[in-house]
Amino acid sequence: MSKSDPLFTQKSQLCKQLGLPVTGKYHLHTGHQPVENRLLAYLRVQVIKDDDILKINEEQNVDWLLNEDIHSTDHLTQDALVFLKTRITLLLRAYPTTLEDDEKLLQNEELSLRRRLAVMLRLTEKRILSSAFQYLINICQS
């Protein structure tokens, strides 16, 4: 969360109320649910706008932000999923090679152990990101 965000103070307070770190690590996973619930809640807070803050302050109940239903149609969940898809796309584009390039590299038997391990790590990261991206595409279409 950017400290230059005009809503940084309010968003930080929301995170504190929800027991979420403002700065910290949130993880994506492979498998049937690659987006952990705490990450989804954090992203909902991340995409909050002025009018949402006013509504939340009026309700005085922030627990709904912890809703585990990633299929929810509320606009904060949908905006959070779009935000995450965009972020994943940017992360994948930042790699100097594609997933397919790395798979081909690993077929080279002359690759040094150090280089092989580096490519394997990069490939694993890309698989996790790609899996999460595909999951989000499927969620957004359903």
Predicted pLDDT of residue 112: 95
Predicted pLDDT of residue 120: 97
Alpha helices in the chain (DSSP H): 8-18, 37-46, 50-59, 75-94, 99-106, 113-141
Q: How far apart are CA 23 and CA 12, in angstroms?
A: 10
Q: How far apart are CA 46 and CA 80, in angstroms?
A: 8
Architecture (CATH level 2) of domain 8-141: Alpha-Beta Complex (3.90)
Note the pTM of the prediction, 2 decimals: 0.86
Extents of the domains making up the chain: 8-141
pLDDT tens track for 61-81: 787 788 777 777 788 889 999
Predicted pLDDT of residue 142: 64
Q: Which residues of the chain have pLDDT under 50?
A: none
Q: Would you tell me how many other CB atoms lie within 10 Å of the CB of residue 68?
A: 12
Please classify residue 44 by burial: count the beta carbons closer than 10 Å to its beta carbon, then call 0-12 exposed, 13-18 middle and 19+ buried.
buried
Predicted pLDDT of residue 52: 81
Q: How far apart are CA 29 and CA 63, in angstroms?
A: 24
